[in-house]
Amino acid sequence: MSTEKAPIKGVLLVGSVPGTDTEDVLRRMAPALGSRLKYIPDGETGQRNYFIGWQMYKFGAFPEVVSQFGQNGKFEDTPVPEEKIKEASDKLEGMDTDYDTAAIESWPVFKKLKKEGVIPKHVKFQVCLPSPLTFVSPFIVGDYKTAIEPVYERAILRALDNIIKTVPKEELAIQWDVPIEFALLEGVWVQPWFSDVKQGILDRWLRLTAAVDSAVDMGFHFCYGDIGHQHFTQPKDTGFMADMAKELLSNVGRRVDYIHLPVPKDRDDAAYFAPLKDLQAVRGETDIYLGLVHTDDLEGSQRRIKAASEVLDGFGVGTECGWGRTSHEEITSIVQISNAVSGEII
């Protein structure tokens, strides 16, 4: 039996790409990486360029629930009376996130450029949504979290449903962005308000995945944060990510088309990638993308690929996180390296 490793193929754009608008992003990225992409996002331009920060302005019906983190990066834990919590929940029920609005506005642009041949025929429209936990944990005042999380989850799922009803299922991919989950697992930066953190995270993920139509592609972006191009903590290894990926794949009621994991620039050692050996055994048809491409570091990217290849049989590449705060010069370098280290998927 052959022991030859599968080739390194494909590139994942995690989400945000700097640009004036959706058409600008798609016209630049599709020709640059199209033969290596299965999916392409709209770039999350405009108010979405700083990940989920824009969501705090969706709580205008009861702004008291938004923590000072949304204003100055600090958390507070001011006690809140029960009647205020109920009032907030009642007033915010039915709120809009406008993730659907953004996707539905971008879809005709994607469709037009695909018809023109700018976007290759095989590429699907990628829509990135945050897990509700990712927003609620840092942005909602402590005592409100338990009541507001389900309200926000329902809002995200309504947006998801609207997207699926608008974009043809065979043209769509939904990506769940889940950084806060790993802060909770690492025990840093934020505190859980539910017992059994691992199971609580998994239960939430399973609710989200169940809401994605089986005809729609779906992936996960595992993340360790990118505030000021810094992680909220440096991962010791891929242990938490490999473990949660295995739990997800073992319990999910539908296929997971891809999982993306970050790789810090200084981690080309076997120890970092070792936990992925167990993931390799259960991944099945799930594509793995490793965020190991770093600006102006072709040789380092090649070293990280070599180390990862010892435990993973075939994977694609990407960066650790989105490019929203990345300069055009840095993006040029990232694209060049991505093309150099990966093969085409078509």
**To which residue do tokens 């694209």 refer?**
335
Predicted confidence (pLDDT) per residue in 121-168, tens digit: 999 999 999 999 999 999 999 999 999 999 999 999 999 999 999 999
Across the chain, where does the E strand assignment appear?
Answer: 39-41, 124-130, 172-178, 217-222, 258-262, 287-291, 316-317
Gap between the Cα atoms of 278 and 6, Å rounded:
17
pTM of the model: 0.95
Gap between the Cα atoms of 72 and 242, Å rounded:
33
Gap between the Cα atoms of 167 and 169, Å rounded:
6
Mean pLDDT taken over the chain: 94
Q: What is the pLDDT of residue 2?
A: 43
Amino acid letter for position 99: Y
Helices (H) and strands (E) in the chain, counts: 13, 7
Q: What is the CA radius of gyration of the chain?
A: 20
Establish if 143 belongs to a structural domain.
yes
Establish if 9 belongs to a structural domain.
no
Q: What is the pLDDT of residue 232?
A: 80
Q: How far is CA 121 from CA 35, 116, 160, 346, in A?
A: 10, 10, 24, 11
Amino acid letter for position 156: I
Counting the structural domains of the chain, the total is 1
Establish if 136 belongs to a structural domain.
yes
Establish if 146 belongs to a structural domain.
yes
DSSP lists the bridge partners of residue 260 as 221, 289
Gap between the Cα atoms of 70 and 139, Å rounded:
6
Amino acid letter for position 146: T
Predicted confidence (pLDDT) per residue in 255-271, tens digit: 999 999 999 999 999 99
Burial status of residue 260 (CB atoms within 10 A of its CB: 0-12, 13-18, 19 or more): buried
Establish if 316 belongs to a structural domain.
yes
Q: What is the pLDDT of residue 76?
A: 63
Q: What is the pLDDT of residue 71?
A: 46
For residue 250, how far is the Cα from the chain centroid?
20
| Short-list 144, 178, 152, CA closest to 65 | 144
Q: Is the separation of the CB atoms in 15 and 39 below 8 Å? A: no
Q: What is the CATH number of the domain that holds 209?
A: 3.20.20
Establish if 238 belongs to a structural domain.
yes
Q: What is the pLDDT of residue 67?
A: 87
Tell me which residues of the chain have a pLDDT lower than 50: 1-2, 70-72
Q: Is the separation of the CB atoms in 200 and 152 below 8 Å? A: no
Q: What is the pLDDT of residue 79?
A: 87
Where in the sequence is the domain holding 261, given as residue range(s)? 22-341
Establish if 5 belongs to a structural domain.
no
Dig out the tokens for 156 from the structure: 């995200």
Q: Is 50 helix (H, G, I), strand (E, B) or coil?
A: coil
Q: What is the pLDDT of residue 51?
A: 87
| Short-list 259, 256, 276, 264, CA closest to 303 | 264
Establish if 2 belongs to a structural domain.
no
